[in-house]
């Protein structure tokens, strides 16, 4: 996936403003030899400055969010959608919730903050404003409930700028929808916006009165119950929905980690944005707490930190001097006030009006355009790598992949292989042998082979998908997977990086093999220009085997998975694929065909195949040729992955498309179908595609809904003399 070898791993945890800007800058000025991994539980990361406008309905969701998958694909980095749950800074290791541990050379955190919910009942009975993605989902539900008269009052706890913007945005949106609710703003301070000048405060108070929002000052919350807020020495405040927008807190797991953190869970950092006692750990945005120059939690600081972070991460990797981040004493603050009007302040000046909102709108849109309009990038080469990134004992090696040894000189070292296998499979797993006995019990073994080059930056996901892709050949014959041997090609990199890459790949392969109850017997590793996996898969018959020559007239054609992975992966490589479309394709490829095969094995079917590289039309043509029959295919019935047809309409095609389309001479096409984008997807090569089978008519009539939930009927089988061609598409 990259044209230069890798020697260091930089891991970014969180998709906050600092990291988003850092990634954009790094992609345009990369440091060859460094691989970046971005880890975030969310695919779409919000721009906090536009949250009030999103709540009020002034913006659409996509306008206010950065697509981290699309950004990562463009920047040529690895994206892992996961939650980090721990760190071992001495071992330079991150623990993830549902993913193998990730090793790093340098790590940076930008995971934001959440309102502090340590008050009794707050975590059970309130909705925090952050993370914004979860709050926005709740806000959509609140609107539905308000429309249905299920809630009549809303309270926001907090008296800062964020609380003001949120409650005014909600009031505006609900009022403009013809709904009249009671609103309460609850703050422990003696007055709202205590750090703002009188002009802004006066304007905000006037706006709160306009929306009939009741302000409860000097009301320190001591307990929250369902529908009730209890304050010290004050009457209880009743509200059907309680939004929590108080002082920020960090992540609880960070506070329990070996890193030096505040009581609230923020990482203490120096002016270089490095953790106090670990030079290779950085923190930016809200999650970083500056010891020497503490500042309030505000997105403007995260934005200003990005250039310093960009320099310092490169500098620490290259053993160069770092810059100090010097936060500004004051900054321009613009507050959205519900409708398209705003107030602002800087230093001692205050101002307000519709023109302030339009000014804020231009600033926010300009920021987001940086991520919605990504420029083309050039690819670095091995010659650009700084020697500082290479370990001393490796500096004398040849690091240009084009000049690396071939033949057996291109194998992966035995010690590295032994370390990886022992770490993944357990000690003493590595037992060298020239060959292995596949069939000790005298059973008949069916054997299939497959190989694919990785289109993914994530070797763990690729390992799982490669297994699914290879074992589909066995499932297509009603065989039970027994064992596999591997042929792994790793891109050249530093020895530490090669070990990490191989370990993650093997972990992914073993994870999927164990899930499918299949053994790993052995294999071979070598260097190549790209990450690739070849698999020799051994299967055992568990009943009557399926074949390609079993179709009969009257059979119904069924398909177990939607198609479109080829066009989606092609679009991703061109930076023309949205994250949600890409992730839907990943989910399909990660879904093995074992369940579909079990359903088919219960039926008396004869013909089946898996849909992979030749595309649906190509594999269907193989069935027809072997069975000496013809088929009618209903184009509208063919299931597609989300976004696949739209990408096909943009004339995006996989590199194998033109070869697959050469069978078009065997296809009869009804009028106007040839011009449809969906027709092109019949020739789209599939990675880890579904099973395509013929179901005899008598059996098909008796199938229940559970079968039809797993298989889509896409056509039927005819006598060959009924059609002028092998395949007719209607």
User: Residues of the chain with pLDDT > 90: what percent?
Assistant: 72
> What is the mean predicted confidence (pLDDT) over 172-200?
92
| Secondary structure of residue 527 in the 3-state scheme | strand
Domain 404-541 has CATH 3.30.1330.10: yes
pLDDT at 610: 96
Range of weakest confidence among 79-88, 123-132, 387-396: 387-396
| Secondary structure of residue 257 in the 3-state scheme | coil
Query: How far is Cα 149 from Cα 146, in angstroms, rounded to an integer?
Result: 5
At residue 505, does pLDDT exceed 90?
Answer: yes
CB atoms under 10 Å from CB of 656, counted, come to 17
Least Cα distance to 107 among 57, 38, 45 occurs for 38
CB of 493 closer than 8 Å to CB of 530: no
> Which residues have a Cβ under 8 Å from the Cβ of 315 and sit 6 or more positions away?
321, 322, 323
CB atoms under 10 Å from CB of 410, counted, come to 15
Query: How far is Cα 360 from Cα 342, in angstroms, rounded to an integer?
Result: 8
Tokens representing residue 163 in the block: 């609380």
Annotate 26-63 with DSSP letters as a single string.
HHHS--TTEEEEEE-S-SEEE-GGGHHHHHHTSS-GGG
In this structure, the dihedral spanned by the alpha carbons of residues 71, 589, 481 and 691, taken in order and rounded to 10 degrees, is -160
- pLDDT-derived band at 568 (thresholds 50, 70, 90) equals very high
Q: Residue 170: phi, psi to the nearest 5?
A: -65, -45
At residue 511, does pLDDT exceed 90?
Answer: yes
| C-alpha 20, offset from chain centre | 14
More reliable by pLDDT, 440 or 439: 439
> Which CATH code fits 122-248?
3.50.50.60
- pLDDT-derived band at 394 (thresholds 50, 70, 90) equals low
Range of weakest confidence among 432-441, 578-587, 594-603, 682-691: 432-441
> What is the mean predicted confidence (pLDDT) over 139-144?
95
N-terminal to C-terminal alpha carbon distance within the chain: 40
Strand ranges for 549-681 from DSSP E: 556-559, 608-610, 630-633, 667-669
Q: Could you give the residue ranges of the DSSP H alpha helices within 299-384?
A: 299-317, 354-372
Query: How far is Cα 673 from Cα 669, in angstroms, rounded to an integer?
Result: 6
Distances (CA, A) of 135 to 52, 128, 132, 138, 644: 12, 7, 5, 5, 30
> What is the mean predicted confidence (pLDDT) over 667-678?
83
> What is the mean predicted confidence (pLDDT) over 469-492?
95
| Secondary structure of residue 108 in the 3-state scheme | strand
Query: How far is Cα 485 from Cα 229, in angstroms, rounded to an integer?
Result: 62
Tokens representing residue 327 in the block: 């936060």
Rg over alpha carbons for the chain, rounded to the nearest Å, is 30
Q: What is the pLDDT of residues 190-231, one digit of tens each?
A: 999 888 888 999 999 999 999 999 999 999 999 999 999 999
At residue 641, does pLDDT exceed 50?
Answer: yes
pLDDT at 379: 64
> What is the mean predicted confidence (pLDDT) over 452-470?
95
| C-alpha 165, offset from chain centre | 30
Give the strands of the sheet with 8-13, arranged side by side: 78-80, 34-39, 8-13, 106-109, 278-283, 274-275, 267-269, 288-290
pLDDT at 409: 46
More reliable by pLDDT, 435 or 189: 189
Can you name the residues that pair with 716 across neighbouring β-strands? 556, 632
- pLDDT-derived band at 113 (thresholds 50, 70, 90) equals confident
pLDDT at 348: 80
Exposure b/e, 432-471, CB count within 10 A at least 16 = b: eeeeeeeeeeeeeebebebebebbbbbbbbbbbbbbbbbb
* Chain region(s) in the chain for CATH 3.90.650.10: 556-729
* Chain region(s) in the chain for CATH 3.50.50.60: 8-113+250-331, 122-248
Report angle CA 64, 65, 69 to the nearest 5 degrees.
160
CATH topology of domain 556-729: Phosphoribosyl-aminoimidazole Synthetase; Chain A, domain 2 (3.90.650)
Q: What is the pLDDT of residues 395-426, one digit of tens each?
A: 555 556 554 544 444 545 666 667 777 788 87
pLDDT at 408: 46
| Secondary structure of residue 7 in the 3-state scheme | coil
At residue 7, does pLDDT exceed 90?
Answer: yes
Distances (CA, A) of 498 to 282, 326, 491: 25, 38, 8
pLDDT at 205: 94
pLDDT at 436: 64
Mean pLDDT of the chain: 90
CATH topology of domain 8-113+250-331: FAD/NAD(P)-binding domain (3.50.50)
> What is the mean predicted confidence (pLDDT) over 529-539?
94
| C-alpha 64, offset from chain centre | 18
At residue 1, does pLDDT exceed 70?
Answer: no
User: Residues of the chain with pLDDT > 70: what percent?
Assistant: 93
């Amino acid at each position: 996936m990259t044209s230069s070898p890798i020697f260091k791993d930089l891991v970014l945890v969180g998709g906050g403003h600092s990291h988003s800007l850092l990634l954009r800058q790094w992609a345009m000025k990369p440091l060859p030899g460094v691989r970046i991994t971005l880890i975030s539980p969310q695919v779409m990361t919000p721009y906090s400055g536009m949250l009030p406008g999103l709540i009020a309905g002034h913006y659409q969701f996509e306008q206010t969010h950065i697509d981290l998958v699309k950004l990562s694909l463009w920047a040529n980095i690895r994206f892992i959608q996961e939650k980090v749950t721990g760190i071992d800074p001495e071992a330079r290791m991150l623990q993830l919730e549902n993913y193998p541990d990730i090793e790093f050379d340098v790590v940076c955190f930008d995971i934001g903050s959440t309102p502090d919910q340590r008050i009794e009942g707050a975590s059970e009975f309130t909705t925090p404003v952050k993370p914004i993605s979860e709050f926005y989902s709740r806000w959509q539900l609140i609107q539905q409930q308000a429309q249905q008269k299920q809630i009549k009052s809303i309270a926001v706890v907090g008296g800062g700028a964020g609380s003001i913007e949120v409650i005014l945005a909600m009031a505006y949106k609900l009022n403009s929808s013809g709904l009249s609710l009671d609103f309460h703003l609850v703050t422990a301070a003696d007055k709202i916006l205590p750090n703002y000048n009188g002009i802004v405060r006066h304007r905000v108070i006037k706006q709160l009165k306009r929306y009939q929002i009741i302000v409860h000052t000097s009301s320190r919350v001591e307990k929250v119950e369902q529908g009730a807020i209890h304050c010290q020495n004050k009457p209880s405040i009743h509200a059907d929905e309680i939004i929590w927008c108080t002082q920020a807190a960090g992540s609880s797991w960070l506070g329990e980690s070996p890193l030096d953190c505040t009581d609230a869970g923020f990482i203490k950092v120096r002016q270089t944005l490095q953790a106090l006692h670990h030079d290779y750990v950085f923190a930016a945005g809200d999650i970083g707490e500056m010891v020497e120059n503490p500042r309030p939690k505000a997105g403007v600081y995260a934005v200003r930190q990005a250039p310093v972070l960009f320099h310092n991460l490169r500098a620490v990797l290259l053993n160069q001097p770092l810059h100090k981040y010097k936060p500004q004493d004051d900054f321009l603050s613009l507050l959205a006030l519900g409708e398209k009007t705003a107030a602002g302040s800087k230093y001692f000046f205050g101002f307000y009006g519709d023109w302030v909102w339009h000014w804020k709108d231009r600033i926010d849109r300009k920021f987001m355009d940086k991520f919605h309009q990504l420029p083309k990038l050039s690819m670095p080469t091995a010659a650009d790598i700084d020697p500082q990134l290479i370990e001393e004992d490796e500096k004398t090696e040849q690091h240009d992949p084009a000049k690396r040894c071939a033949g057996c000189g291109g194998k992966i070292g035995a010690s590295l292989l032994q370390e990886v296998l022992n770490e993944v499979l357990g000690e003493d797993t590595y037992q060298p042998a020239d060959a292995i006995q596949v069939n000790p019990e005298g059973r008949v073994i069916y054997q299939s082979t497959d190989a694919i080059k990785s289109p993914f930056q994530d070797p763990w996901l690729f390992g799982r998908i490669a297994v699914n892709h290879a074992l589909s050949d066995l499932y297509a014959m009603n065989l039970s997977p027994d064992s596999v041997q591997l042929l792994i090609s790793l891109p050249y990199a530093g020895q530490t990086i090669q070990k990490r890459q191989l370990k993650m790949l093997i972990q992914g392969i073993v994870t999927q093999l164990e899930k499918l109850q299949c053994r790993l017997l052995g294999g071979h590793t070598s260097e190549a220009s790209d990450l690739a996996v070849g698999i020799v898969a051994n299967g055992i018959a568990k009943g009557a085997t399926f074949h390609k020559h079993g179709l009969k007239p009257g059979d119904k054609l069924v398909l177990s998975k939607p198609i479109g992975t080829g066009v989606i992966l092609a679009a991703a490589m061109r930076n023309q694929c949205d994250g949600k479309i890409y992730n839907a394709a990943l989910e399909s490829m990660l879904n093995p065909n074992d369940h579909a095969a079990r359903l088919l094995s219960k039926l008396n079917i004869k013909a089946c195949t898996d849909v992979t590289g030749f595309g649906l039309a190509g594999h269907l043509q193989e069935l027809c040729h072997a069975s000496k029959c013809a088929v009618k295919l209903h184009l509208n019935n063919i299931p597609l992955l989300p976004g696949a047809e739209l990408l096909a309409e943009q004339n995006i095609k996989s590199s194998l498309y033109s070869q697959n389309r050469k069978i078009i001479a065997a296809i009869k096409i009804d009028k106007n179908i040839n011009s449809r984008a969906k027709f092109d997807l019949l020739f789209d090569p599939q990675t880890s595609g579904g099973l395509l089978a013929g179901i005899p008519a008598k059996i098909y009539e008796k199938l229940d809904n559970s079968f039809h939930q797993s298989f889509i009927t896409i056509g039927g089988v005819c006598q060959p003399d009924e059609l002028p061609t092998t395949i007719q598409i209607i």
